[in-house]
């Protein structure tokens, strides 16, 4: 008997019929002789709707209350799914993240899991029931307040539970057939891959491919959880995330595994920073002090003893970061602070870059031919990323997908969801 953790995303449980369909799938898995634990997201776009509602009440709601509000979305879907399963003659029991033993730190909106104590889930499984766990939430170890793991975090709940339960596989059910060489909503000719390495998946997830939550991939790699992404609308096998692609399969692997875009970042430039030791430290200590995560950083060549420093950061942190820097403008002695929200980051990922020369040349030639201006560049061993104007991102992704020979013959199917 295998122990399977199945996670169903919002688009897979968007309405009553979808919930019944998913319930049938879960019961079939159990009747085939498996133990099943389910993690479920909020229905459709209901998390976004709750966010919008919060905004109407308060432009800057307290993190504790926002988390309490957002976790309600998953409570609705978990209870409805348990009802639908019970209607099919099987026993299901729904649990909030806190009841399921998801213990986190205290950072509202971006809490990290620090322990999983799934005693009630194990007890339910032992009694032949199907536990249904609310995704993307937990309870803070010290404050005992309800927390959320960040947008898309139900994937991470599923992997954390799979690790704690020592499950045989964690299946992430979504609205596309698996991991593709690009977002199929953006590139209809995107190609679905049967396997992808954790390393490449981490780069894609960190650079805008929201099909898997970044921390879910990190967690799965660390705890060796077999992770499969597949559609809840078909029986196709989907994509398995693996440590290494075996050699006989690797022969057919393309050099590049995917292209992604990320529209969630903004750019700040501080001009005329004195070109002296310790200046960059002052800038970045200021940002660290308010908990801002930076992505790309560029310092320009110094002219007249001063230099410009440009960096990207999450859009949501733009206001706080600018305020913190301006508050220390005299001390840091910079000239101006320029904000830019109209950027996108476009990334090309592939482990084959290590051993194949010429990838950068093709990358930049393609962008040039597509008329896309490059504002910043950053690379890792297996990734090239550039900052472009937001309105150029889709064009850049499509051109790169074509020039690296990733286009498939048919059109990718998107089964549901609004892509919001
Ligand atoms: P869920 O609600 O199931 O969690 P998400 O919307 O979070 O679904 O993630 C699935 C979506 O991720 C797809 O509908 C697709 O538009 C998007 N996506 C972005 N990049 C990729 C990619 N490389 N492969 C597959 N899907 C991708
Ligand atoms: N419902 C949450 C969100 O929309 C969590 C998730 O779907 O994974 O971000
Ligand atoms: Mg998701």
Residue 285: which residues within 8 A CB-CB, separation 6 or more?
A: none
> Which of ligand 2's atoms lies nearest the C-alpha of 10?
7
User: Which residue minimizes the CA distance to atom 5 of ligand 2?
Assistant: 152
Strands 258-262 and 343-349: antiparallel
Over the range 206-245, which residues count as b (16 or more CB within 10 Å of their CB) and which as e?
A: bbbbbbbbbbbbbbbbeeebebbbbbbbeeeebbbbbeeb
* 12 SS3 class: helix
User: Which residue minimizes the CA distance to atom 4 of ligand 2?
Assistant: 47
User: What residues pack around ion ligand 3 (CB closer than 5 A)?
Assistant: 9, 152
Class of domain 255-404: alpha beta
Whole-number percent of the chain with pLDDT over 70: 98
Two tokens, residue 166:
């020592």
Whole-number percent of the chain with pLDDT over 90: 87
pLDDT in tens, 72-131: 999 999 999 999 999 999 999 999 999 999 999 999 999 999 999 999 999 999 999 999
What distance in angstroms lies between residue 237's CA and the mean position of ligand 2's atoms?
Answer: 23
What distance in angstroms lies between residue 298's CA and the mean position of ligand 1's atoms?
Answer: 30
With a 6 A CB cut-off, is 258 part of the ligand 2 pocket? no
User: Which residue minimizes the CA distance to atom 8 of ligand 2?
Assistant: 152
Q: Considering the chain, what is the average pLDDT of its residues?
A: 95
Looking at residue 304, what is its pLDDT? 83
What distance in angstroms lies between residue 15's CA and the mean position of ligand 1's atoms?
Answer: 19
What distance in angstroms lies between residue 286's CA and the mean position of ligand 1's atoms?
Answer: 35
C-alpha angle 200/204/210, rounded to 5°? 140
Res. 300 pLDDT band, cuts 50 70 90:
confident
Kindly compute the dihedral angle of the four CA atoms of residues 11, 191, 214, 237, in this order, to the nearest 10 degrees. 70
Q: Determine if residue 343 is left, alpha or beta; phi over 0 gives left, psi from -120 to 50 gives alpha, anything else beta.
A: beta
What distance in angstroms lies between residue 253's CA and the mean position of ligand 2's atoms?
Answer: 32
Of residues 303 and 238, more confidence is placed in 238
Asked if the domains 3-250 and 255-404 are classified in one and the same CATH topology, the answer is no
What distance in angstroms lies between residue 184's CA and the mean position of ligand 1's atoms?
Answer: 8
Q: Are 350 and 250 in contact (CB under 8 A)?
A: no
Residue by residue, what is the 3-state secondary structure of 308-365?
A: EEEEEEEHHHHHHHHHHHHHCHHHHCCCCEEEECCEEEEEEECHHHHCCCCHHHHHHH
Which-ligand-closest: CA of 135?
2
What distance in angstroms lies between residue 250's CA and the mean position of ligand 2's atoms?
Answer: 34
Two tokens, residue 214:
């970044």
User: Which residue minimizes the CA distance to atom 1 of ligand 1?
Assistant: 9
> Which of ligand 2's atoms lies nearest the C-alpha of 9?
7
User: Which residue minimizes the CA distance to atom 9 of ligand 1?
Assistant: 211
Res. 34 pLDDT band, cuts 50 70 90:
very high
How far from 85 is each of 3, 16, 91, 131, 417, CA to CA, in Å? 18, 12, 7, 11, 23
Looking at residue 417, what is its pLDDT? 75
Number of helices followed by number of strands (H, E) in the chain: 13, 20
Query: Which of 130, 134, 180, 131 minimizes the C-alpha distance to 153?
Result: 134
Res. 367 pLDDT band, cuts 50 70 90:
very high
Protein residues with CB under 6 Å of any ligand 1 atom = 9-12, 41, 152, 174-176, 179-180, 182-185, 204, 209-211, 258, 414, 417, 419
Q: Are 98 and 75 in contact (CB under 8 A)?
A: no
What distance in angstroms lies between residue 213's CA and the mean position of ligand 3's atoms?
Answer: 6
Which-ligand-closest: CA of 40?
2
pTM of the model: 0.93
> Which of ligand 2's atoms lies nearest the C-alpha of 151?
9
H-type alpha helices, 58-206: 63-87, 119-126, 154-165, 198-206
pLDDT in tens, 378-404: 999 999 999 999 999 999 999 999 999
Over the range 173-202, which residues count as b (16 or more CB within 10 Å of their CB) and which as e?
A: bbbbbbbbbbbbbbbebbbbbebbbbbbbb
Q: Specify the residue for token string 């991470």.
A: 156
User: Which residue minimizes the CA distance to atom 9 of ligand 2?
Assistant: 151
pLDDT in tens, 245-267: 776 565 556 789 999 999 999 99
Looking at residue 97, what is its pLDDT? 98
Q: Determine if residue 371 is left, alpha or beta; phi over 0 gives left, psi from -120 to 50 gives alpha, anything else beta.
A: left
Per-domain residue ranges for the chain?
A: 3-250, 255-404
* 232 SS3 class: coil
Q: Kindly tell me the burial class for residue 413, based on how many C-beta atoms sit within 10 Å of its own C-beta (0-12, 13-18, 19 or more).
A: middle
Class of domain 3-250: alpha beta
């Amino acid at each position: 008997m295998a122990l399977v953790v199945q996670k169903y995303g919002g688009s897979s449980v968007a309405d009553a019929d979808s919930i019944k369909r998913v319930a049938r799938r879960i019961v079939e898995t159990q009747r085939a002789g498996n133990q099943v634990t389910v993690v479920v997201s909020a229905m459709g776009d209901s998390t976004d709707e709750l966010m919008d509602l919060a905004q109407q009440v308060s432009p800057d709601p307290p993190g504790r209350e926002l988390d309490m509000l957002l976790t309600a979305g998953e409570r609705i879907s978990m209870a409805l799914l348990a009802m639908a399963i019970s209607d099919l003659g099987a026993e299901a029991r729904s649990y909030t993240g806190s009841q399921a033993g998801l213990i986190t730190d205290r950072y509202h909106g971006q809490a990290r899991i620090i322990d999983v104590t799934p005693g009630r889930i194990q007890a339910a499984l032992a009694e032949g029931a199907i536990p249904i766990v609310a995704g993307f939430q937990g309870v803070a170890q010290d404050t005992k307040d309800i927390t959320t793991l960040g947008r898309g975090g139900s994937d991470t709940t599923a992997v954390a539970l799979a690790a704690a339960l020592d499950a045989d596989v964690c299946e992430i059910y979504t609205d596309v057939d698996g991991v593709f060489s690009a977002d199929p909503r953006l590139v209809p000719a995107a190609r679905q891959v049967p396997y992808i390495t954790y390393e490449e998946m981490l780069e894609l997830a960190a650079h805008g491919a929201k099909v898997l939550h970044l921390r879910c991939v990190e967690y799965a790699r660390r705890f060796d959880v077999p992770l499969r992404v597949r559609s809840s609308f078909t029986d196709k096998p989907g994509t398995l995330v693996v440590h290494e692609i075996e050699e006989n399969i690797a022969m057919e692997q393309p050099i590049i595994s995917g292209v992604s875009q990320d529209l969630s970042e903004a750019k700040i430039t501080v001009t005329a920073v004195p070109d002296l030791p310790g200046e960059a430290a002052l800038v970045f200590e200021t940002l660290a002090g308010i908990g801002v995560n930076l992505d790309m950083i560029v310092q320009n060549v110094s002219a007249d003893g001063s230099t410009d420093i440009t960096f990207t950061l999450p859009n949501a942190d733009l206001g706080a970061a600018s305020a913190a820097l301006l508050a220390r403008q005299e001390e840091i002695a910079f000239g101006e602070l320029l904000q830019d929200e109209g950027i996108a980051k476009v990334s090309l990922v592939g482990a084959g870059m290590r051993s194949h020369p010429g990838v950068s040349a093709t990358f930049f030639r393609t962008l040039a031919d597509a008329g896309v201006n490059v504002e910043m560049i950053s690379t890792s061993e297996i990734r090239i990323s550039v900052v472009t104007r937001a309105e150029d991102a889709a064009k850049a992704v499509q051109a790169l997908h074509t020039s690296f020979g990733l286009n498939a013959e048919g059109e990718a199917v998107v089964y549901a969801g609004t892509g919001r």
